[in-house]
Amino acid sequence: MFKHILYIFFFFVTCATIAQEEPEKTKQINIVYGANFTKDEERFPGASIFSEDGRQVQFEHEGADLWCDIAIHYLKENKLRAIGNIRLQQGDSVVLTSGKIDYDGKTKLAKAWEDVLLKNSQMTLRTDTLYFDRNKQESYYQDFGTVIDSSNTLTSQIGRYFMELKKYQFLDSVHIQNPKYTLDSEQLDYYTGTDNAYMYGASTITGDTYKIYCERGFYDTKVESGYGIKNTRIDYNNRIIEGDSVYFDKASEFASATNNITVTDTVNNGIIRAHYAEVYKAKDSVFATKRAVSISLVEQDSLYMHGDTLMVTGKPENRIIRAFRNAKFYKTDMSGKCDSIHSAQNTGITQLIREPILWNGVNQMTGDSIHLISNLKTEKLDSLKVLNNAFIVSLDSISNEGYNQAKGKDLFGQFEENELRIIDLVKNTEVIYYMYDDDDALIGINKTICSAIRITMANNDIEDLTFFTNPDGDIFPDKDLPKESRKLKGFIWRGDERILTKDDIFDEDDNNIELVTIQGINNPIDIDAEEEDRNKNAGDPVNKIPLPPSPIPSDPNDDASKPKARPRVEKVKAN
């Protein structure tokens, strides 16, 4: 008896185990309300045909209900074709309407066509043909579709909707229309819950006061804020911002850029290059650092200005450029360095502040401060001021040993056609000058003290000296003037610091900056793999979004709405 009971026990355990291991059977499509029933074996062999009788035909399958005017039901294959005024409802949130639909109960794949409309609480999707995968909770189209949510109207040639993620993936001719902006893209992922868009491929956003182009980026369509991380450009007010990564926020009127940046001033034709920059639209200002340089046009020559930090502020007509800490500038015939530079558009004055040094050709000028003044009408260099402790030095170009020197309290220079022609030194002036005959033989060394000196220049070299008010000095033969007497008090030669090219404005630290790593877009897809896949399948929309075969064989006449024969008519309702 005990053995018999034990046998029965193991029998049920074994059966239960086998039952658990067997795959779950596909559930049949259930008829909820069949209304009128017919058969047409010639056209639809093996199918049951149901038609409405004032009340629509209704079917149910695993949580989804379908209503239609006419249904062709293949019981054995577990497939259904619905025709006329179709409504497919999944739970309380998703409703699909169309003219026709094919549904496979085994794969839970549906194909709907003829004025298809898919709706949930957050959006509506309209297209001609829509494929719906209930297993994956995805729907997709490849013949143009329109999506409307609370903020935007989105259109594309190809689209896929991931219902659980509340995400759309649009391909080919993507367009977003909003009262405040438009967005066009090759590919765009859009989340209906947040109204966030992720762009892949050439994309352009055009707003009232800005235009953004990028080939990979993010955009919050609610607040008009986002960033691009590939070939990004923003046309913003009177500036164009380009960089490896560019961020933009309309509300705060702010943009920033990181790595390999170019900010172009479209009004004054100026350019700023750096590896980090911020643009403030309301203040019409730019802040730049990390190998920052400002490039502007002066007399058909480019002027390069560098500092650890650059700031450009003010409207175009009142624009001010500031270079802070370790400031330098270079143009073909002039260069300089100091602690900081201040250049004002409305006055035409550029100030070199704190320990400034200026090289005009081979001439080295120093003083407590140096001002370069431009003509406001012609925008050409007009004059030069070296204030307090003015000192000008140049290496004797013939002997390459001695130094021509002049000093005074202040120095005033005059430019003609962008070339320094006249230099006036005033108050307690002194000069040491090497004099040569026409055969470049040394005549002597002129050493003079007076109240003022005028130096006439030609081709950035001394052409003539004029002494004013009781000059006291002499021309000494080379052998009669000791070496220690050939330098004026305060003499410092800084020729090894002279900036000879535009690249010399950068120090070793500037040239060895390690650029920050630009982070990718925080998105749950492998964008690089997808881009590679798109390139492989270029021009093949079916491979871009794989589509299932139609679950029902097509009828060339497709005239099921008018059955040829009605062998019998019955009322069929749910069991």
CATH at 365 = 2.60.450
The answer to whether residue 564 scores a pLDDT higher than 50 is: no
Q: What's residue 8's pLDDT?
A: 31
Mean pLDDT of 179-184: 92
Give me the pLDDT at residue 471, please. 86
pLDDT confidence band for 521 (50 / 70 / 90): low
320 in a domain, yes or no?
no
Question: What per-residue string of b and e applies to 266-301 under the rule 16 or more CB within 10 Å gives b?
Answer: eebebbbbbbbbbbebeebebbbbbbbbbbbebbee
CA angle 552, 558, 563 (to 5 degrees): 105
Distance CA 260, CA 245 (A): 9
Would you place residue 203 in the very low, low, confident or very high pLDDT band (cuts 50, 70, 90)? very high
At residue 520, the pLDDT reads: 66
- pLDDT interval class at 424 (50, 70, 90): very high
- Is 389 domain-assigned? yes
Residue 52 has pLDDT above 80, yes or no: yes
Residue 69 pLDDT more than 80? yes
- Give me the pLDDT at residue 443, please: 92
Query: Measured between alpha carbons, how far is residue 442 from residues 397, 399, 456, 486 in Å?
Result: 12, 9, 20, 15
**Residue of higher predicted confidence among 380 and 180:** 180
Q: What is the domain extent for residue 422?
A: 356-481
pLDDT at 205 over 90: yes
Cβ neighbours of 571 (radius 10 Å): 10
The residues near 509 (Cβ < 8 Å, ≥ 6 apart) are none
Question: What was the pLDDT predicted at 563?
Answer: 38
* pLDDT at residue 282, as a whole number: 84
pLDDT above 80: residue 190? yes
State the first-to-last Cα distance of the chain, in angstroms, to the nearest integer: 44
pLDDT(526) > 70: no
pLDDT digits (tens, 9 = 90+) for 272-301: 999 999 999 888 899 999 999 999 876 677
Q: Are 456 and 425 in contact (CB under 8 A)?
A: no
Considering its fold, how many domains does the chain have in total? 1
The pairing of beta strand 301-313 with beta strand 472-476: unpaired
What percentage of residues in the chain have a pLDDT greater than 70?
86
pLDDT of residue 73: 93
pLDDT tens track for 398-407:
888 899 999 9
Q: How confident is the model at residue 314 (pLDDT cuts 50, 70, 90)?
A: confident
Q: Give the residue with greater pLDDT, 22 vs 379.
A: 379
Which residue's entry shows tokens 């049951």? 48
Question: Is beta strand 210-220 parallel, antiparallel or unpaired with respect to 232-236?
Answer: antiparallel
Q: Which residues, in sequence order, are CB contacts of 523 under 8 Å at separation 6+?
A: 189, 198
Task: Report the chain's mean pLDDT, rounded to a whole number.
Answer: 83
Residue 122: what pLDDT? 78
Query: Residue 439: inside a domain, yes or no?
Result: yes
Task: Work out the pLDDT band at 192, boundaries 50, 70, 90.
Answer: confident
In this predicted structure, what is the pLDDT of residue 522? 52
What does the CA dihedral 4, 8, 11, 13 come to, rounded to 10 degrees? -130
Checking if the pLDDT of 177 tops 80, the result is yes
What digits encode the pLDDT tens for the residues 234-253? 998 788 999 999 999 999 98
pLDDT reported for residue 573: 43
Question: Is 472 part of any domain?
Answer: yes
Question: What pLDDT was estimated at residue 299?
Answer: 65
- pLDDT for residue 568 is more than 90: no
Residues 492, 366 contacting (CB under 8 angstroms): yes
* Position 7 pLDDT exceeds 50: no
**Residue 182 pLDDT class (50, 70, 90 cuts):** very high
Is the confidence at residue 341, as pLDDT, over 80?
yes
CA distances from 359 to 370, 446, 500, 560 (A): 11, 23, 10, 93
Task: Output the CA angle 349-353-354, nearest 5 degrees.
Answer: 165
pLDDT band at 410 (very low <50, low <70, confident <90, very high): very high
| More confident position, 527 or 39 | 39
